[in-house]
Amino acid sequence: MIYDVAIIGGGVIGCAILNKLTRIGKKCVLLEKGSDVSVGTTKANSGIVHAGFDAKPNTLKAILNVKGAKLFPGLCKELDVPFKQNGALVIGNDMSVVNSLYERGLQNGVQGLKVLDRQAVLEKVPSITDNITCGLYAETSAIVSPYEFAIALAEESVINGAQVVLNFTLSDFKKASEGYSLSDGTNQIIAKKIVVAVGGAHNEVAEILNATKYDLKYRRGEYYLLDKGAMDIGGYTIFPLPTKDSKGVLISATTSGNIIVGPTSIPSETDSTITTKYGLDDIASKANSMLSNVNLRKNIRVFSGVRTLVGDDFVIEKDSKNSDIINVTGICSPGLSASPAIAEYVLDLLGFENKEVVIKKLEPKIRTQYLSSNEINKLIAKEPRYGKIVCRCEGITEMEIINAINSPLKPTSVDAIKRRTRAGMGRCQGGFCFLKVMELLAKEHNIKIDDITKENQNSRIIVGDIR
């Protein structure tokens, strides 16, 4: 098959581009070096759909953030992805900065902004510290599950004819009679046009494609993830006043009911996702300067992600050496928020008309943790495996895991199941359920249990003879 477009990179940006192209009827393939989509920066994202008041006016960041945020509610509803317009507060003690953000937001076309004095902030979040004197409220700010969003984008694409090739590390590229040949030594893909959306690995891929390289910079963001009920923040996303380099350490609700605290913004020479005592101490200090009820003792996990920067704006452009290649890099914050709009921007660069065709839609997921007892009993009467709890922390059943294993983009790792069902995301972080998940993966895929990995190919859980 000759594809219209090959997208290299299976983060939320690559998946959004794949989905949009599929929705207009193009034959597309997504090439991802990991064992699943959303295994890089996307899975370590804060999950904030920013309103758009922070980005400098008239930049791609500003324009695509605001446009993308408007597309999110409808898209998440279509894809059955957890999304909530919870509102955000930027708090601090410098009213001039707050007013500047407000004016910038108006320039960017953001609606629902309101400047608050201390009393107004207190009414929303009573636990603010004594040094907080003012704030900005952004009504349209929202939260989403970033990895579920990326997975759903890819899965809808797959049921409509797109192909996703996982464990694909590009090793060879050459001109073909009808486009370009991309190979990893095993698979050969022929495509007329190519979109490079690999984040921090851009220059490595560009070397193989003989495409433009950029001056990439990396910043590591470390996080705490707190247990459900760890602290009351009114359901909001709470930011400090931003700095030149970062939106700062935020404290936010998540769509799952947990609280996320972070990230840091630490310059890094590599895309290593380590966490450090220095970074975590910095998060604690900054969070405690905003709220008096920060309870990091309720932490259930620390993690980090690395964002890639190219100057002060996104890079989304035709390659200067080959106009059949579109480079998409430097997509740091607000990249998630902008992702649906980035996809439309790329569509235009590719020269395609934004005219969607009739497509198949994903079946809604059964999430038993959100159902009533009567609804669950009806499910169990039809399928008893809805009554077998595998993950006690999150209340995930055996049948939900089996459904995930047999979904359009069939997961093969324990972490891939975690992202689709939340099995293993609770207080014990999979300590009690991971073996059962492995057993179900092995059974459904008809493979040996010691072939099951935690994530990618080099993360086998069982090594050696377990008899």
Alpha-carbon distance of 279 to 266, in angstroms, equals 8
The residue annotated as part of the active site, out of 26, 33, 50, 420, is 50
Name the CATH code of domain 1-83+144-215+310-364 (choices 3.50.50.60, 3.40.640.10, 1.10.287.3510, 3.40.50.150).
Answer: 3.50.50.60
Instruction: State how beta strands 217-226 and 259-262 pair.
Output: antiparallel
Alpha-carbon distance of 219 to 305, in angstroms, equals 8
Residues 195, 200, 206: CA angle, nearest 5 degrees: 50
| Residues, the chain | 467
pTM attached to this predicted model: 0.97
Tens digit of each residue's pLDDT, the chain (467 residues): 999 999 999 999 999 999 999 999 999 999 999 999 999 999 999 999 999 999 999 999 999 999 999 999 999 999 999 999 999 999 999 999 999 999 999 999 999 999 999 999 999 999 999 999 999 999 999 999 999 999 999 999 999 999 999 999 999 999 999 999 999 999 999 999 999 999 999 999 999 999 999 999 999 999 999 999 999 999 999 999 987 777 899 999 999 999 999 999 999 998 889 999 999 999 999 999 999 999 999 999 999 999 999 999 999 999 999 999 999 999 999 999 999 999 999 999 999 999 999 999 999 999 999 999 999 999 999 999 999 999 999 999 999 999 999 999 999 999 999 999 999 999 999 999 999 999 999 999 999 999 999 998 888 888 876 55
Strands (E), 69-157: 83-84, 88-92, 113-117, 134-138, 142-144
Alpha-carbon distance of 91 to 454, in angstroms, equals 39
Active site residue 445: no
Domain boundaries 88-139+217-306, corresponding CATH code = 3.30.9.10
Helix (H) or strand (E) holding 116: strand 113-117
CATH architecture observed for domain 368-451: Orthogonal Bundle (1.10)
Tell me the residue type at 117: D
Specify whether the backbone of 464 is left (phi greater than 0), alpha (psi in -120 to 50) or beta: left
Alpha-carbon distance of 464 to 467, in angstroms, equals 9
Q: Any idea which residue has 């200090």 for tokens?
A: 285
Residues 181, 186, 187: CA angle, nearest 5 degrees: 45
Domain spans of the chain? 1-83+144-215+310-364, 88-139+217-306, 368-451
Q: Which two tokens stand for residue 311?
A: 């100057």
Q: Check: CB of residue 83 under 8 Å from CB of residue 47.
A: no
